[in-house]
């Protein structure tokens, strides 16, 4: 397959990938427990084998893959080079790469983060990255605009499932809640794509197990109107199911990207077993359509 091209907007490419492969996103999380669970040493060499086995099993079989940058950065420059190789090979296989880096800063620093992962001169840019908006949504503006201009995307942390998240994300503002302000701001950024009938380039990270949070904050209709793709970690091992995702996201479910890592990765190190686990996940989440 040819490398996924950023010429079309990210939302349009993501929607097309979902129509072809279904909505599942699989993580590549080579942390110590998983690597050693495969019978590999927790070393650069072990992580390299782990990651490249995942690339071979996942590439061209799912719409998107989400490598967790931190687990590569642990190994310094070699780990970063491996992450670039993972990104390159997945994209060459026709799979979108959502790089989980959760960057968030201000001014020239935010600009540099954007250029590092999304810029046209980046060593190996991803199709999308995760961002943290808790220095203020507008602090992300350099990366938001760069993603739009390069045909790439971002997923902004909005309603996460960790217990500590609610203290910030549910907090009241003059307009409603912190999460609601993020949804409203992203909706404005996605308006141009919405006018073309496409998904927006600004998506949200919202946990698959956030329960009634959208209703509690009065955000169900706002999410439906946002035109934003929703990265929903927590599917599988963390308790998210097709039924809970439908209940949590309602009318927005067609834009939800259920994300799983452990449920698939525990099938390794055998490549054929990993492929079988991917296929089971694809079949399971196909019921969201």
| DSSP per residue, 201-260 | SEEEEE-TT-TTHHHHTT-HHHHHHS---EEEE-BSTTSB-HHHHHHHHGGGGGGEEEEE
Sign of the Cα torsion 177, 171, 129, 266 reads negative
Separation of alpha carbons 243 and 226, rounded Å: 22
- Which of 15, 88, 102, 266 does the annotation list as catalytic? 102
| Residue 42 neighbours by CB distance under 10 Å | 16
- CA 230 → CA 31, 83, 255, distances in Å? 25, 24, 6
Residue 102 falls in the annotated catalytic set: yes
Per DSSP, 77 falls in state: H
Chain centroid to CA 219: 21
Q: Which of 258, 250, 262 is nearest to 226 (CA)?
A: 250
The pair of structure tokens assigned to 152 is: 């790439």
Catalytically active residues are 102
């Amino acid at each position: 397959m040819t490398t996924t091209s950023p010429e079309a907007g990210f939302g349009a490419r993501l929607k097309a990938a979902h129509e072809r492969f279904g909505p599942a996103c699989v993580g590549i999380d080579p942390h110590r427990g998983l690597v050693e669970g495969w019978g590999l040493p927790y070393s650069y060499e072990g992580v390299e084998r782990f990651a490249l086995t995942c690339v071979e099993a996942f590439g061209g079989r799912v719409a998107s893959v989400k490598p967790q940058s931190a687990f590569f950065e642990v190994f310094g420059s070699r780990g970063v080079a491996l992450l670039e190789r993972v990104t390159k090979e997945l994209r060459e296989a026709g799979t979108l790469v959502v790089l989980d880096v959760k960057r968030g800063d201000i001014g020239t620093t935010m600009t540099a983060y954007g250029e590092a992962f999304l810029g046209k001169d980046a060593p190996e840019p991803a199709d999308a990255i995760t961002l943290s908006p808790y220095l203020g949504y507008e602090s992300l503006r350099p990366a938001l605009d760069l993603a739009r201009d390069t045909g790439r995307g971002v997923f902004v942390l909005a309603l996460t499932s960790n217990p500590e998240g609610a203290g910030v994300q549910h907090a009241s503002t003059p307009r409603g809640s912190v999460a609601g302000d993020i949804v409203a701001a992203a909706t404005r950024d996605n308006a141009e794509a919405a006018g073309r009938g496409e998904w927006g380039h600004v998506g949200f990270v919202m946990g698959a197990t956030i329960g009634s949070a959208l209703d509690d904050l009065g955000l169900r209709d706002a999410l439906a109107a946002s035109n934003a793709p929703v990265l929903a970690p927590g599917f599988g091992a963390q308790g998210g199911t097709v039924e809970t995702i439908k209940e949590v996201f309602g009318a927005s479910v067609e834009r939800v990207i259920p994300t799983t890592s452990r449920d698939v990765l525990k099938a390794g190190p055998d490549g054929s077993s990993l492929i079988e686990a991917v296929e089971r996940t694809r079949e399971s989440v196909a019921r969201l359509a």
